[in-house]
Amino acid sequence: MALRKPPIIATVLTIMGIAVLCTLGTWQLQRLEWKEGLLARIALETSYETVIPASDIETLAYSSDKNLYKRGTIYGRFTGQTRYLMPRTHEGKSGKNVIAPFITDNNQFIIVDLGWLPFDHEGINEFDLNRTALQGVLRRPDGKNWLTPANDDASGIWYAIDFDNLGQGFVPQGYNVMPAVFYSEGDLPFAHDGLIAHTAGWQPPNNHLSYAFFWFIMAGVLAVIFALRFVKEPTPKAQDND
């Protein structure tokens, strides 16, 4: 077998492709470390009996530790606004999560993730705006990355929660947004056909190791394809018939 000299353009493109795939794999390993830390914190929080105090909400929201996590109850009222975080999956089906602003009794503005809706279901248009109680977990949401599309606030569709750009009319005048999300678990204070709330004891999925494995395998496959493309059998020497 003899190795041909590969074209420069093909070599550069292959190296770039392998670098991108390895970067994605490394990023997933970093996400795995973050998710395992988060799951460890979740295991320590098991009760809704405690009302989450305003001080804990503020501490969690502004902490540099993104693994902070608090399960409990909050009291307040909805504003009636909604946004839809998509695409999101539930039991293998595609849909959207319903996002709603909530003002606590201590006048803290918190974003609430109410749960999942199938794509073909209408959104929530009516809320009980009276004081209510929500049970669930408060934590920092997954952040956006360079692959995340820009939110389309005109249609109410988000792809990530961007606290720096929540769109016009979402935050009432005079309120500051707590950069954390309350994931409502169990029964909601209103009924809506098709809405599936986060189950009690809900934990975020942790598939980052398999994702990292996939990207590294793809990098290896690309390297093998490149090598095979430029490997050939040596040309047989002509035989002398004399």
Of 24-28, 45-49, 141-145, 225-229, minimum mean pLDDT range: 45-49
How does pLDDT run across 157-213, given as a tens digit for each residue? 889 888 888 877 788 888 888 999 999 887 776 667 788 888 766 666 788 999 999
Average pLDDT, the chain: 83
Looking at residue 7, its pLDDT comes to 82
Q: Is 2 buried (19+), middle (13-18) or exposed (0-12) by CB count in 10 A?
A: exposed
State the pLDDT confidence band at 242, using cuts at 50, 70 and 90.
low
Looking at residue 90, its pLDDT comes to 83
State the pLDDT confidence band at 3, using cuts at 50, 70 and 90.
low
Is residue 240 over pLDDT 60? no
Looking at residue 17, its pLDDT comes to 93
Mean pLDDT within 219-230:
88
Is residue 37 over pLDDT 60? yes
Which pair of tokens denotes residue 153?
Answer: 């606030």
| Helix-strand-coil split of the chain, %, nearest 5 | 30, 30, 45
How does pLDDT run across 75-108, given as a tens digit for each residue? 999 988 889 998 888 888 889 999 999 999 999 9
Is residue 21 over pLDDT 60? yes
Is residue 238 over pLDDT 60? no
CB contact at 8 A, 215 and 24: yes
Looking at residue 18, its pLDDT comes to 93
Is residue 1 over pLDDT 60? no
Which pair of tokens denotes residue 218?
Answer: 């793809």
Is residue 2 over pLDDT 60? no
Intra-chain end-to-end CA distance of the chain, in Å: 28
Looking at residue 109, its pLDDT comes to 93
CB contact at 8 A, 136 and 197: no
Looking at residue 119, its pLDDT comes to 85
Is residue 16 over pLDDT 90? yes
Of 183, 181, 203, 180, which is closest to residue 63 (Cα–Cα)? 180
